[in-house]
Amino acid sequence: MNIVKSLSMGASFLAMAGSFALAEEPSELGIGLILATGPEASWDATLMRDLETLIESAPHGLDISYKNINGVWGEQAGDAMDLLAKTGKYQIIWAHSSYSDQVKALQDKYPDILFVLVGSGNEGLGGNAYWVYKRAHEPSYLLGVMAGRLTESDVVGVVGQFPSEDVNDQINSFFAGARSVNSDVARKVAFIESWYDPAKAEQFTNAQIAAGADLTFQLVASFETCEKATIMCFGNYVDHGETSPDSVVASALISWTQDLNWVIDEWYDHAANGAPYEGNVTERWVSMANGGTALSGYHAFADKLSAELKDEIAILSAQISSGELEIPVDLSLPTSD
Amino acid sequence: MSELLSPEILMSIMTAAMGVATIILLAALGELVTERAGIWNMGVEGTMLSGCLIAYLVMASTGSPILAALVAMGAGLAVGLLIGFMTVTLRVDHFVTGLGFNLLASGLTLFWFRSYVGRGKPPSYSTIDKAPIPVLSDIPVIGPILFDQHLLTYIAFFSVPVIAFFLRRTTFGLETRAAGENPQFLEAKGLSVATRQYSALLFGSALTALGGAFLMLTFADQFRPDISGGRGWLAIVAVIAGNWRPVRTMIAVMVFAILDSVAVHAQGVGVDVPYQFFLMLPYVASILLLVMIRSRSGQPAKLGVPYLRH
């Protein structure tokens, strides 16, 4: 009887010890960032900005550190991810572009690492691979409404990076907004075929101006060109009105904060509670209503825009946020008229 | 398609082409002189990239475009010295040296740029303004195309006859050509082949770096890794397509630049042809030019052959 009692007590102790081990809360988190360009590109800079802010807030009391590897693509990116994983210092590897081929090859090799894929061109892998999407079509629509109201030549341009789903949706929404208030708007669309190339961006912007555009939506941040040509521009991802107040009317902003929190929560649940990873296989994006995107302020243009236009934008913005106005996601390839 | 041929768009195409041509032309003229001296400098892309970074760093730090251009040329001289030491003094294979330098420049400029910027936003600046020539720039059509350009554009195009004159009419120019055609002849006359080859390399590399500085100071307000984007390679192709002659090289450069500008404008105006077709035109043209020139090559006889002093 004593032996049975002792065994049962021992088993209870082991079970308790096991449950303590499972419940042990991690205090540190390393995040490896794989960036296709680097901090000079708004897409990457916004992620680093939001990550820095998140580190300050220390979710789950975590001491978070990160390392970014810039300008890597294809096999090189796969090697970089593998190296980060091998060090054992990085529990989350955030691959900030189309890297699903590389992650697919690594996700089973490192089952405890949470991989993140970002944006279009990816395949939903599930398991320990999470897929973050960014759709800025809603603020882009609002910029389009402004463009439609402000254009004098009725020719409006967009200079984009590559034609891809999360670029096309913005461009199409922008023109949808412009045409919702001005059906005469003619579209001029150009892709510089690079995620970041200021020289090409300048050339393409000038070509659109030559084609009659008096307003351009700059997905490639060539605001200097707008200033020299004295035309108005719209910015993308970051608030370019702060740095180019003479040309940028407003910008479509993106935030990664909710995505970062989601991913960290998922990792934490896995690390602290043993919850299995359940990566999404379909696109997951945070709407403007939920803080995933936003429209910037007008900065120097606050006094130049009419009160009617500002009111119109405020109303539309409220309607989008409340769900009263739904901006459809149009992924078709935008072309010039 | 007809919009692409409208007078306004055609003028814009030509005006933009002059700017694009300036970058390639400066590098091509530098490479032309270098190759006439017998050195295949395959490091044009890396030299241009180095010029871009140095110009960016100086411009972002001081705001002086003149200083930025001068320091970039200084960096070009240093690159020329390095490539000269490898190819002329150590007689390392010219292709290996140039290609190796391109890889080094790509990595080194990236490292330097990232170290300079850290985790912050890269500093930017206002690109330099054009310098229209009074009266001439007011001439209809050709005025804006030819005489409303940047100072370096005038310098680049003016350099074409100057370099042609130098290579054909000056003693040192003829000796430079002799280094590429018959270096033994130079030695027999008691003249140093190495001096002429080093001089050509230094001049060529400085001019190439100036092309990079022009790209940086007029087209972009921020550096980015590998911003030269293959323009250095186009410069080499232009020299070959131009049959190692200054005026023909300039024509080849203009063909590339105009086609590049057409590709850019075709997207802007919205032609019915897929824009990727226009993007490949400069490269198709370069291949065609190389094929056409093959049968009547004016390539220096000893180009790329390391010279061993007898």
Separation between Cα atoms, residue B56 and residue B111, nearest integer Å: 14
CATH domain A28-134+256-273 topology: Rossmann fold (3.40.50)
Q: Which residue of B has its CA nearest to A69?
A: B114
What integer pLDDT is reported at residue B310 of this predicted model?
65
Give the rounded percent of residues in chain B with a pLDDT score beyond 90.
65
Nearest CB to A188 within list B222, B224, B268 = B268
Contacts of A188 in chain B (CB under 8 A): 268-270
Judge whether A190 is closer than 8 Å to chain B, CB to CB: yes
CA dihedral B133, B139, B140, B142 (to 10 degrees): -60
For residue A17, the model assigns a pLDDT of 47
pLDDT bucket at B294, cuts 50 / 70 / 90: low
How far is the C-alpha of B271 from the C-alpha of A240, rounded, in Å? 31
Distance of alpha carbon A256 from alpha carbon A135, whole angstroms: 11
| Residue B12 to chain A, least CA–CA distance (Å) | 6
Contacts of A196 in chain B (CB under 8 A): 224
A96 close to B (CB below 8 A): no
Give pLDDT tens digits along chain A (337 positions): 455 555 555 555 444 444 444 557 899 999 999 998 888 788 999 999 999 999 999 999 999 999 989 888 888 899 999 999 999 999 999 999 999 999 999 999 999 999 999 998 899 999 999 999 999 999 999 999 999 999 999 999 999 988 888 899 999 999 999 999 999 999 999 998 887 777 788 889 999 998 899 999 999 888 888 988 999 999 999 999 998 899 999 999 999 999 999 999 999 999 999 999 999 999 999 999 999 999 999 999 999 999 999 999 999 999 999 999 999 999 999 988 8
Q: Which residue is closest to B11 within chain A, CA to CA?
A: A210
A interface test, pick of B267, B278, B281 with most A CB neighbours within 10 Å: B267
Instruction: Give the pLDDT confidence score for residue A7 in this predicted structure.
Output: 53
Query: What is the percent of chain B where pLDDT is above 70?
Result: 97
Q: Which residue has the higher pLDDT, A222 or B177?
A: B177
Tell whether the model's pLDDT for residue B296 goes beyond 70. no
Mean local confidence (pLDDT), B144-166: 95
| Domain locations in chain A as residue ranges | 28-134+256-273, 137-254+290-322
Would you tell me how many other CB atoms lie within 10 Å of the CB of residue A59?
A: 14
| Contact residues, chain B, for A157 at CB < 8 Å | 268
Which residues, 6+ apart, have CB-to-CB distance to A277 below 8 Å? A114, A127, A128, A130, A266, A270
pLDDT in tens, B58-108: 999 999 999 999 999 999 999 999 999 999 999 999 999 999 999 999 999
Task: Determine whether the interchain pair B264/A204 forms a contact, defined as Cβ–Cβ distance below 8 Å.
Answer: yes
The domain made up of A137-254+290-322 has a fold known as Rossmann fold (3.40.50)
**Widest distance between CA atoms in chain A:** 96
Those residues of chain B whose CB sits closer than 8 Å to some CB in chain A are: 3, 8-9, 11-12, 16, 20, 110, 114, 117, 119-122, 124, 126-127, 129, 215, 219-225, 227, 229, 261, 264-265, 267-270, 275, 279
pLDDT at A39: 83
Question: How far is residue B151's CA from residue B26's CA, in Å, rounded to a whole number?
Answer: 13
Q: Report all structural domains of chain B as residue ranges with CATH numbers, in order of start.
A: 2-117+133-296 (1.10.3470)
CB atoms near residue A300 (< 10 Å): 14
A336 touches chain B (CB under 8 A): yes
Contact between chains at A188 and B261 (C-beta distance less than 8 A): no
Confirm or reject contact between A48 and chain B (CB < 8 A): yes
Q: Is the Cβ pair B268, A71 closer than 8 Å?
A: no
CA distance B290 to B259: 16
Q: Distance between CA A43 and CA B47 in Å, rounded? A: 29
φ, ψ of residue A242 to 5 degrees: the values are -70, -40
Query: Phi and psi at residue A314, in whole multiples of 5°?
Result: -65, -40
Q: Which residue of B has its CA nearest to A224?
A: B126
Handedness of CA B266, B269, B272, B276 (dihedral sign): positive
Measured between beta carbons, the chain B residues lying within 8 angstroms of A228 are 127, 129
Selected residue of A161, A194, A195, A202 to mutate for chain B interface (largest B Cβ count, 10 A): A202
Q: Do domains A28-134+256-273 and A137-254+290-322 have the same CATH topology?
A: yes
Question: For residue range B203-239, what is the model confidence (pLDDT) as tens digits?
Answer: 999 999 999 999 999 988 888 888 888 899 999 999 9
B89 CB neighbour count, 10 Å cutoff: 11
Q: Alpha-carbon distance B237 to B290, whole Å?
A: 8
Looking at the complex, report in whole angstroms how far the Cα of residue B142 sits from the nearest Cα belonging to chain A: 16
User: How many contacts does A have with B, using Cβ atoms within 8 A?
Assistant: 99
Residue A336 to residue B127, Cβ atoms within 8 A = no
Q: Please tell me which residue, B189 or B283, carries the higher pLDDT value.
A: B189
Orientation of helix A257-273 relative to helix A2-23, angle to 10°: 160
User: Looking at the complex, does the CB of residue A245 fall below 8 Å from at least one CB of chain B?
Assistant: no
For B274, which residue in chain A has the nearest alpha carbon? A335
A48: nearest CA partner in chain B: B119
Lowest mean pLDDT among A123-132, B23-32, B118-127, B159-168: B118-127
| Contact list, A335 vs chain B (CB under 8 Å) | 270
